[in-house]
Amino acid sequence: MNKNFWLNKAQEWPICALAPMDGYTDSPYRQVVKEIAPNTVVFSEFYSADGLVHSKELQKKALTHNQKEYPLIIQIFWKDPEKFRDAAQIIESYGITWIDINMGCPAKKVVKSGHGSSLMIQRETAFKIVEEMSKAVSIPISVKTRLGWENHELLIDFCKWLQDAWANLVTVHWRTYKQAFTGQANFEWIYELKKHLNIPVICNGDILNYDDGIKKMNNLDGFMIGRASFGNPWCFLPWDYTPTLTEIIQTIKKHGDLLWEMKWKKWMLEARKHLVQYLHSFPWVKEYRTNLVHVESPEEIHDILNRIEKEHSELLNMRIKSSTKESYETAWWCEC
């Protein structure tokens, strides 16, 4: 594969991506997003490079995917260049489109272990990771990072060095490590960064939908949507698309069936976490949502949704804009 994947103008442009989010962007969710918005580029939740090297079970869980998900990016984290290199070779063997390195997660337990955002202040290690992976595989290597540790002052130099180590794309979340998930969005330093790089640059952080991403990307090559997509995979469509109640119900059924098909024993908790998000914009759904968080089979999901269709048939063509407030409050921690 051409490592300059996104410099090929035959690819969809700008890049609109589903952000990697721990505990959310699994294969079923990625498939739901791709079915609704086929041009979306989907990133996986992050996986340990060390775990992938040593666990066949994790390899199967993380790397088994559907062809509909292409182009598919698997995100990994760790701190040892050799483990990253070995994990990259395993990922490539599964036919994945490219690999993304997590250098931005601000979770304390991740940073304390020398992973995620800590790589921004362990630069030699960070560059060695990219270099080792780039030499080991033929697929592209990208990096997702933050504006900086305490401020933006080293962002440009850091990303130029990543480029020199053969990173093929960089995604920058507009917050610093110290900000974690606080502050008001300001992409100005990411726009400035783009002027100094020859590789694609994507912005990330508090982007609500496709139209909002277009407004915020400025001179960049694309944008990522993360938490705003919970219960609203239609956010990846242009023109601020609002689904009908019928579309929402059909998508919940599809998502529930995929979770059951791919996860089985772990399906129940996964389904409850995902599916209640879809209905939060409707004022009359409290009882149904309460029922959804107790489901134990896909049949129960279908029964609850069939009740909605029967009891609220006059509303099936109703469109209510999704509110992102609840998603942000319940899952502030998950973005990788």
Residue type, 130: V
Find the catalytic residue in 105, 159, 235, 334.
105
User: Which residue shows structure tokens 């579309």?
Assistant: 247
Handedness of CA 61, 66, 69, 74 (dihedral sign): positive
* Strand locations in 113-168 (E): 141-146
Task: For residues 9 and 191, give the distance between their C-alpha atoms in angstroms, rounded to a whole number.
Answer: 21
Cα–Cα distances in angstroms (integers) from residue 13 to residues 8, 17, 40, in the given order: 10, 11, 10
From CA 234, how far away is CA 45, in angstroms rounded?
Answer: 20
Q: Please give the helix or strand (H or E) that residue 171 lies within, else none.
A: strand 169-173
- Three-class secondary structure of residue 98 per DSSP: strand
Q: What is the maximum alpha-carbon separation in the chain?
A: 62
Tell me if 44 sits within 8 A of 25, measured CB to CB: yes
* Region for residue 314 given its phi and psi (left: phi exceeds 0; alpha: psi -120 to 50; beta: otherwise): alpha
Residue 134 CA to residue 210 CA, distance in Å, equals 31
203 is catalytic: no
Kindly state the helix (H) or strand (E) to which residue 86 belongs, with its residue range: helix 81-93
The single residue listed with the structure tokens 């949502």 is 289
Q: Is the peptide bond before 71 cis (omega within 30 degrees of 0)?
A: yes
Tell me how far apart the alpha carbons of residues 134 and 132 are, in angstroms, rounded to a whole number.
6
Contact 336, 21 (CB under 8 A): yes
Q: Tell me if 15 sits within 8 A of 33, measured CB to CB.
A: no
Positions marked catalytic: 105
